[in-house]
Chains A and B, each alone.
Chain A
Amino acid sequence: MPETVSYFLMAWTDPSLLLLTAAGTLAGIYVGALPGLSVTMATSILISFTFAWDINQALALIVGIYCGGVYGGSRTAILLNIPGAPSAVATSFDGYPLAQRGEVGQAIGLSTVMSVIGGLIGVLVLASVAPFLAEMSLQFAPRDYFLIAGLGLLLVGSLSAQSLARGIFAAALGGVIGLIGLDPVTAEPRFTLGFTNLMGGIHYVVVMIGMFGVAEALFQLHQLNAETVRQKVDRIVPSLNLVLKFLPLSIRTSIIGVIVGALPGTGGDIASLFAYDHAKRSVKNPAQPFGKGAYEGLVAPETANNAAVGGAYVPMLTLGMPGDAVTAIIIGALVIHGLNPGPMLMIQTPHIFWFTVGNLVLANLFLLIFGLTGIRIFARIVELPRAILIPTIMVLCVVGTYSLNSSMTEVYWMLGFGLVGYFMKIYGFQMGPVILGVILGPLMDKSYRQAMSSVGNDGTAFLLDLVTNPLSLILTSAVILLLLSNTPLRRVLSRRSR
Chain B
Amino acid sequence: MSQEKLLKPGERTFNLLLLVLSAGVLYEAYQISGFDLLNAPGAFPLILGMIMIIAMLVILAEQRHRSGTATSGVGNAAKQFIQCCCPREMTVFTAMAIIYLALLHPLGFLPATILFLFLSQLYLRSGKMMASGIITIITTIVIYALFKIIFQVYLP
Task: Check B139–A392 contact: CB distance below 8 A.
Answer: yes
- Known contacts A395-B116, A403-B154; A191/B124 CB under 8 A: no
Q: Does A183 contact B (CB under 8 A)?
A: yes
CB distance from A149 to the nearest CB of B (A): 11
A residues less than 8 Å from B90 (CB atoms): 218, 221-222, 422
Q: Are A388 and B147 in contact (CB under 8 A)?
A: no
Say which size band chain B's interface belongs to. 35 or more
Q: Are B59 and A449 in contact (CB under 8 A)?
A: no
Asked if A186 is at the interface of the complex by the 8 Å CB criterion, the answer is: yes
Determine which of B55, B98, B143 lies in contact with A395 in the assembled complex, contact meaning CB atoms within 8 Å: B143
Which residues of chain A are within 8 angstroms of B25 by Cβ–Cβ distance?
Answer: 176, 191
- Chain A nearest CB from B39 CB (Å) reads 4
A176 to chain B, nearest CB (A): 5
A166 in contact (CB, < 8 A): yes
Q: Are B117 and A392 in contact (CB under 8 A)?
A: yes
Whether B33 is near chain A, meaning CB under 8 Å from some CB there, is yes
Partner of B45, one of A176, A218, A427: A176
**Interface hits, A404-432 → B, CB 8 Å:** 406, 408, 411-412, 415, 419, 422-423, 426-427
How distant is the Cα of A457 from the Cα of B56 in the complex, in angstroms?
29
Query: For the complex, is A224 an interface residue (Cβ under 8 Å from B)?
Result: yes
Interface: A102 (CB within 8 A):
no
| Count of A interface residues, CB-CB < 8 Å | 62
B107 at interface (Cβ–Cβ under 8 A)?
A: no
- Complex CA gap A230/B114 in Å reads 31
Q: Check A183–B41 contact: CB distance below 8 A.
A: yes
- Least CB distance, B49 to chain A, in whole angstroms: 8
Indicate which residue in A52, A173, A214, A385 contacts B125 across the interface (CB closer than 8 Å): A385
Q: Which of A251-259, A310-318, A440-448 contacts B (4 or more CB under 8 A)?
A: A440-448
Query: Residue B18 contacts which of A50, A169, A399 (CB distance < 8 angstroms)?
Result: A169
* Contacts of B61-97 to chain A: CB distance below 8 A: 62, 84-85, 87, 89-90, 93-94, 97
Query: Which A residues are within 8 Å of any B CB, using their own CB?
Result: 48-50, 52, 163, 165-166, 168-169, 172-173, 175-176, 179, 183, 185-186, 188-191, 193, 214, 218, 221-222, 224, 385-388, 390-392, 394-396, 398-399, 402-403, 406, 408, 411-412, 415, 419, 422-423, 426-427, 441, 444-445, 448-449, 452-453, 457-459, 462
CB-defined A-B contacts under 8 Å, sample of 11: A163-B58, A165-B59, A166-B59, A191-B28, A193-B28, A218-B94, A392-B143, A399-B155, A403-B151, A419-B94, A457-B39
Known A398-B156, A449-B39; 20 more pairs at CB < 8 Å: A48-B153, A49-B153, A165-B55, A169-B59, A172-B52, A176-B48, A176-B49, A188-B42, A190-B42, A214-B97, A221-B124, A387-B124, A390-B93, A394-B120, A398-B101, A399-B143, A411-B156, A448-B39, A457-B37, A457-B39
Give me the interface of B with A, judged by CB distance under 8 Å: 8, 11, 14-15, 18, 22, 25, 28-29, 32-33, 37-39, 41-45, 47-49, 51-52, 55-56, 58-59, 62, 84-85, 87, 89-90, 93-94, 97-98, 100-101, 104-105, 113, 116-117, 120-121, 124-125, 135, 139, 143, 147, 151-156
